[in-house]
Structure 1
Amino acid sequence: MKVTCLFLLLAAPILLQAQPVQTQKPPLHGKHWMAITGKPLAATAGAAIFQQGGNAVDAACAMLAATCTMWDVLSWGGETQALIYNPKTGKVIALNALGVAPTGATPAYYRSKGHAFPPEYGPLAAVTPGTPGGICHMLANYGTMSLAQVLAPAIEMAKGYPIEAQTANMIEREKNLIKTWPYSKNVFLTHPGEKREAPEAGEIFVQQDLLATLNKMVEAEREALKKKKSRKEAIMAAYDRFYKGDIAREFVRGSREQGGLITMEDLARWKPIEEEPLHVNYKGIDVYKLQEWTQGPMLLQSLNILENFDLKSMGYNSTAYIHTLYQAMNLAFADRDFYYGDPYFSKTPIKGLLSKEYAKQRAAQLNKTKNDASVAPGDPYPFEGRQNPFLPLLKERNRLFNATPAEQPGNVVPKHDVVAYHDDAAYHDRLWRGTTSVEAADAEGWVVSITPSGGWLPACIAGRTGVGMSQRAQSFVLDSVLNPFNVIAPGKRPRVTLTPSMALKDGKPFLSFAVQGGDTQDQNLLQFFLNMTEFGMTVQQATEAANINSEQLWLSLGGDSIKARLPRPGRLLLHNGTPEKTRKELEGMGYQLDFKPRTSGPINAIYFDRKHGSFWGGSSNHGEDYGIGW
């Protein structure tokens, strides 16, 4: 142990008191495979698939199915976002399995219901399910096993598994809302009428309706194989049963019975999309993210901006580093909040946003001495040879959200007025609202990074399917002054926070990493990446290291008013161990500080050790995330 500690001290001399050299969790090591996700039981599901001979895609699908069945802040009616490294082609593949707004989902409709944004919960928060289709697509095209094999752990769990305290207690806390939806009430409240109506921790939690749904999908695959269909065709037969057959009919019936909008046509028209990922090169490392229907490019923009500064010389979590990081993220978030959206509906200026020249312009705008409370979206259009059609809208946006109180519309709070909601617990719940992540890799070279979500507790279950409906429609806006690319429309995907990540070095996998946590996801992933590349941390140290969180952004989740979603300029979350000197210096620069004992994620990651031909797995000490390697 002394030798190990000495090595770590030499390898990472820049760690401050807030980041102990000795990690709370040990790093994972493996030669054959690595499986990491949000719950220990789900990681075990991935390990079981690996032990049966499956590849990383098979294992990732099994872990995703298991986490959905465990309601690990998501369910089967949610959405799946994935990056896959294919060792046969040497390419990173992006999978867009995000649902779309249903028929009738227009700004006028939601305003007629009294909403300033689509609601947080219930049938009107739902987009079409994406995860079942995402699993089928990944497995059919890049896996090796049958759907029956990879769903076997989830099916076993649906028959009954010992529910963990986190989920059981969430059900109890949200039981009054759950009672408003009859199918949810029947599934979740296993002790109706008792003082505690939710399951107890360790109780065997049974989901008969979900079990029937999963068995129907496996049955469709089995029948197709009997008809001599190929493995891929058989898996897609299960897909069709979910989106076009009896499962779809019950899902739609149950949704509409409770006031939802999703139709059979919405389900039949939807399909997952395989895309080219976006990427930038940071000091010789190619970092990959999903397209601008996610917030992922925000991390890429931040790296482009930060490349113009000598971060290493500043020192890990020094005052200068924290300030530079915060300001760079604010610039990228300002662009995210106005320019990101579904690229299949309108052409976003993503080429300009990710150009190195635009990043230099934004870096030059960074205030080096104090927090800039008036950071606004930039103009990336000239950097891709176009004229910005939204300059009048940007001017109006600036007038509305940087005005004096006397100039404000009735439902708008000045951007700089943060005192009124200083300790708002609801705000922080929405800022950090979790999901899960899935990381898998194998010796053949397949690598998978997934950030799935949607249908989290308290979930509205659609009929007798056992499937919780997504709540992702809340990430749309109803007014183009907030974001012209993200105004809700039928068939459109919302701009989501979900953001798996991958990095290649010399054309080979270097890191695969993801995290849960709403608008903080790319903040934490950015710092994790810099912890390793700039400050020499091991993958486990980097997952546990003290991060910062900015609140100077528009909330993507929750809050049915402009006031509830407004940025909080200068609000900064720091680790409890931040030195007093750093605190005072930051306060002198205009920051308002909050502190927590853990600020690291929870991040899950795999580092590819080319020198030794092995995997390092990291899973932060923040939550219940867990991994297994072999």
Structure 2
Amino acid sequence: MMPRFAPYLLLLLVCLPAGAQSTQKPVLHGRHWMAITGKPLAATAGALTFQKGGNAVDAACAMVAATCTMWDVLSWGGETQALIYNPHTGKVIGINALGVAPTGATPEFYQSKNMAFPPAYGPLAAVTPGTPGGLLTMLAEYGTLSLQEVLAPAMQLADGYPIEAQTANAIERGKDQIKEWPYSKTVFLPHLGEEREAPEAGEIFKQADLRATLQKLVDAEQQALKKGKSRKEAIYAAYDRFYKGDIAKEIARSTQEQGGLITTKDLANWQVKIEEPMMTTYKGIDVYKLSQWTQGPVLLQTLNILENFDLKGMGYNSAQYIHTVYQAMNLAFADRDFYYGDPAFAPEEPMQGLLSKAYAKERAQLIDPDRNDPKIGPGDPYPFEDKQNPYADILKERGQAMLQTPLPSGIDAPFLDGFLRGTTSVEAADAEGWVVSITPSGGWIPACIAGKTGVGLSQRMQSFDLDAKQNPFNVLEPGKRPRVTLTPSLALKDGKPFLSFAVQGGDTQDQNLLQCFLNVVEFGMNVQEAVEAANFNSYQMHSSFDDHPIKPGGLTLHDSTPFWIRKELREKGYQLDYDDRTSGPINAIYFDREHNSFWGGSSNHGEDYGIGW
């Protein structure tokens, strides 16, 4: 039973100045390495890999493999996004391992099925698998161990591990949908016909088909090594077996059998991209995000806008602070909803304009200090590139439609479920200087499994638009990547790693990461305080899931928010609701240059876990 004074204690903690805040979990300290991710067993996989002599990339790959195998709201058929700091070059590298729309996936195809967007689940929700390619590419290019060594923990998990309650109960809740797909039913429902058909918490969950697939990848590597191939060449032999060999054939065959579109040509033609990420500077700190095929530049845009305000002077989570940050986020998210998409496809996104400091200053001037603006729309970044906006007519039409559209009310459970849809995150660092931040996702439960591979297919097609009036840069085309919410983060100070951070939680990810970053930079919190601190969420942007709903003025606050702050925010026009957990689980590593050590933070929300040494 909660003591009578507990609510007042929580209130006190929220109002305490930075540095005095207590935490529910301790800071992790490490000198040699740090491994943090979404499951305790997966963090252990990272630790085991470090103990084998691997670097942070090896450990990160082992953690991705483990989380996929444990269905930590993702699987092997999903997508992987990563930022890697290379200490030998001093550069941050972007890894784009997002799958693409398959052959036949067109707006007309889905519209012929009376769909406003591609579906949220099933084979028609699937882009091509990206995570295996991303893992293998990172390992080949920047790791040190063999694939056999890195996949060993995941293979042991596939042989059978005691399933945790969170995943087991998610399977039970989703069992009606799981039964629609024959291969999923076989894997997920070992007690078919009984009252509880999913595994029980603690039951040994075995995945023989997935174990065989992972063995095929290791066999391809080992055979290549026996033929005299280099370590890198041998890992890419495993890559080829997945995307061009017998595994690819089974994925394509079984996906089509279940009503999907993926072909062997789609798999063979897809490639991981190693990219230069985007960056802005905030108070002397260089903040890196992946480019506009993710929502990552939203955080950069928002920081540019917030440079024009005295956030520290407003006070942590004061009504004026919450209002100002909320408005700045909404301005950036309005641009995301209209201008972000796959840069490999025309039209070209106006990212130079969107990320310019001058454009941010113009957008900042739109913020009314006294009222929320529920009708805020995309800006016009083209003049900041000395160009004319080719979509001015669409923007004008959208603006007029917004003025005439009544505001939705209420933040109900189905809306939140879509908006907050989870994934996992992986953070790793080592004494040599390698740093890795990853937000893998896709193929979450209930997942459609591709035949006898044990691989759960992605559900990322739902993030596409089918109408250019919604977003001309993100309209579905075969071979195109959808604009995703997945968004790892890295920050450097004086050219050296300062903070590595990522979170799960759909469209709230960059909202939560922005506040975590500001907690450290503006309010002096240590990394564990920053990831646990009370957060707030806006829903004044289109969800990237389901039918892409929006709730202008919707604001979730922490339960402990004082009544006078609630009152001020209502007076500014917000529709408030409350929760005791106001972000997805944030994982982060802070780099202590003074003492040459790591500080790890792992959220007190969910099953995320870290180990340092």
Q: Shorter-chain-normalised TM-score: which range?
A: over 0.9
Cα deviation, 1:372-408, whole Å, max 9, x if unaligned, reads: 01100000011111111000111122233332xxxxx
What stretches of structure 1 of length at least 5 have no aligned partner?
Answer: 1-12, 404-413, 560-564
Residue 551 of structure 1 is matched in structure 2 by 539
Does structure 2 retain, via aligned residues, the 8 Å contact 1:17–1:577? no
Name 2:407's counterpart in structure 1: 417
Q: Which is further off, 169-178 or 381-390?
A: 381-390
What pairs up with 1:276-291 in 2 under 5 angstroms? 276-291=276-291
- Residue 18 of structure 1 deviates from its aligned partner by 11
Matched residue, 1:516: 504
Q: Deviations over 1:493-517 (max 9, x none)?
A: 0000000000000000000000000
| Letter aligned with residue 493 of structure 1 | R
1:491 counterpart residue number: 479
Q: For 1:280, what is the secondary structure of its paired residue?
A: strand
Establish whether residue 433 from structure 1 lines up as the match of residue 418 from structure 2.
no
Distance 1:567 1:284 in 2: 35
Alignment match, 1:380:
381
Question: Structure 1 pair 216/104, CA: closer, same or farther in 2 (3 Å)?
Answer: same
Q: Distance in 2 between matches of 1:99 and 1:451?
A: 14
Amino acid across the alignment from 1:252: A
Residue of 467, 477, 491 corresponding to 1:479: 467
Deviation at 1:22, TM superposition (A): 1.2
The structural deviation recorded for 1:553 is 0.5
1:538 to 526, 539, 544: 526
1:16 aligned partner, one-letter code: C
Matches within 5 A, 1:114-153: 114-153=114-153
Other-structure match for 2:433: 445
Q: Does 1:16 align with 2:15?
A: yes
User: Which residue of 2 is the match for residue 4 of structure 1?
Assistant: none
1:168-202 Cα offsets, whole Å, 9 max, x none, are: 00000000000000000000001010000000000
8 Å CA contact retained: 1:14, 1:535: no
- Corresponding residue number in structure 2 for 1:187: 187
Partner of 2:456: 468
Tell me how far apart the structure 2 counterparts of residues 386 and 266 of structure 1 sit (CA, whole Å).
Answer: 36
Listed as ranges, the matches of 1:263-412 within 5 Å are: 263-346=263-346, 347-403=348-404
Q: TM-score, normalised by structure 2?
A: 0.97
Compute the displacement of 1:14 (Å). 10
> Equivalent residue for 1:87?
87
Q: Residue 168 of structure 2 contacts residue 198 of structure 2 at CA under 8 Å; is this kept in 1?
A: yes
| Aligned partner of residue 15 in structure 2, secondary structure | coil
What secondary structure does 1:511 align onto? strand
Matches within 5 A, 1:166-185: 166-185=166-185
Change over 3 Å in CA distance of 1:15–1:193 after alignment to 2: closer
Q: Matched residues in 2 for 1:618 and 1:131: separation?
A: 25
Q: Percent identity?
A: 72
Instruction: Name the SS for the 1:512 alignment partner.
Output: strand
Secondary structure, in 3 states, of the residue corresponding to 1:35? strand
Match of 2:589 in 1: 606
> Quick check: 1:162 aligned with 2:162?
yes
Query: Using the alignment, how far apart are the partners of 1:385 and 1:38 within structure 2?
Result: 44
Question: How many aligned positions are there?
Answer: 600
> CA offsets, 1:75-111, max 9 Å, x none?
0000000000000000000000000000000000000
Q: Give how far 1:417 is off.
A: 2.1
Corresponding residue for residue 600 of structure 2: 617
Shift of residue 593, structure 1, vs aligned partner: 0.5
Question: Aligned partners of 2:402, 2:237: CA distance in 1, in Å?
Answer: 50
CA deviation after TM superposition for structure 1 residue 599, in Å = 1.1
- Output the CA distance in 2 between the equivalents of 1:400 and 1:196: 48
1:213 aligns to what?
213
Answer whether contact 2:411 2:551 (CA < 8 A) is retained: no
* TM-score, normalization by structure 1: 0.94
Aligned to 2:116, the other structure's residue is in SS state coil
State the Cα deviation string for residues 110-145 of structure 1 (Å, max 9, x = none): 001111000000000000000000011000000000
One-letter identity of the residue aligned with 1:615: F
Change in CA separation of 1:583 and 1:15 when aligned onto 2, cut-off 3 Å: closer
Q: 1:431 & 1:555 partners in 2: Cα distance?
A: 6
The answer (yes or no) to whether the contact 1:545–1:600 under 8 Å persists in 2 is no
Match in the other structure for 2:553: 570
CA apart distance, 1:542: 0.2
Q: Is residue 37–residue 625 contact of structure 1 (8 Å, CA) maintained in 2?
A: yes
Give the Å deviation of 1:470: 0.2
- Indicate conservation of the 8 Å contact 1:605/1:617, yes or no: yes
| Aligned residue identity for 2:407 | D
Moved over 3 A (4+): 17-20
Indicate conservation of the 8 Å contact 1:160/1:205, yes or no.
yes
1:11-63 CA deviation, whole Å, 9 max, x = no partner? Answer: xx995169971100001000000000000000000000001100000000000
Match of 2:4 in 1: none
Aligned amino acid, residue 375 of structure 1 = I
Corresponding residue of 1:198: 198
* One-letter amino acid of the counterpart of residue 377, structure 1: P
> Helix, strand or coil: the match of 2:588?
strand
Alignment match, 1:562: none
Partner residue, 2:7: none
The answer to whether the 8 A contact 1:18-1:576 is kept is: no
| One-letter amino acid of the structure 1 residue matched with residue 385 of structure 2 | E
Partner deviation per Cα, 1:237-264 (whole Å, 9 max, x = no partner): 0000000000000010110000010001
2:449 alignment partner AA = I
Aligned counterparts of 1:140 and 1:600: Cα–Cα separation in 2: 34
SS in 2 for 1:100: coil
Distance, in Å, in 2 between the alignment partners of 1:109 and 1:535 is: 51
* TM-superposed deviation, 1:161: 0.5
Q: Is the 8 A contact 1:599 1:622 kept in 2?
A: no
Q: What is the CA–CA distance in structure 1 between the aligned matches of 2:334 and 2:560, rounded to whole Å?
A: 29
Which sections of structure 2, spanning at least 5 residues, go unmatched?
1-11
* Cα displacement string for residues 267-288 of structure 1 (whole angstroms, at most 9, x for unaligned residues): 0000000000000000100000
C-alpha deviation, 1:357, in angstroms:
0.2
Offset of 1:366 from its aligned partner?
A: 1.0
TM-superposed CA distance for 1:600, in Å, is 3.4
The AA in structure 1 aligned to 2:559 is N
- Report the counterpart of residue 10 of structure 1 in structure 2: none
Partner Cα separation in structure 1 for residue 33 and residue 278 of structure 2: 26
Looking at structure 1, the residues matched to 359 and 13 of structure 2 have their Cα atoms a distance apart, in angstroms, of: 31
Q: 1:607 and 1:384 mapped to 2: Cα distance?
A: 36
SS of residue matched to 1:81: strand
AA at the equivalent of 1:24 = Q
Counterpart position of 1:3? none
2:566 paired with 1:583? yes
State the SS of the aligned residue for 1:402: helix
Letter paired with 1:434:
G
The one-letter amino acid paired with 2:365 is A
* Correspondence for 1:74: 74
Read off the aligned partner of 1:598 and give its amino acid letter: R
Report the counterpart of residue 443 of structure 2 in structure 1: 455
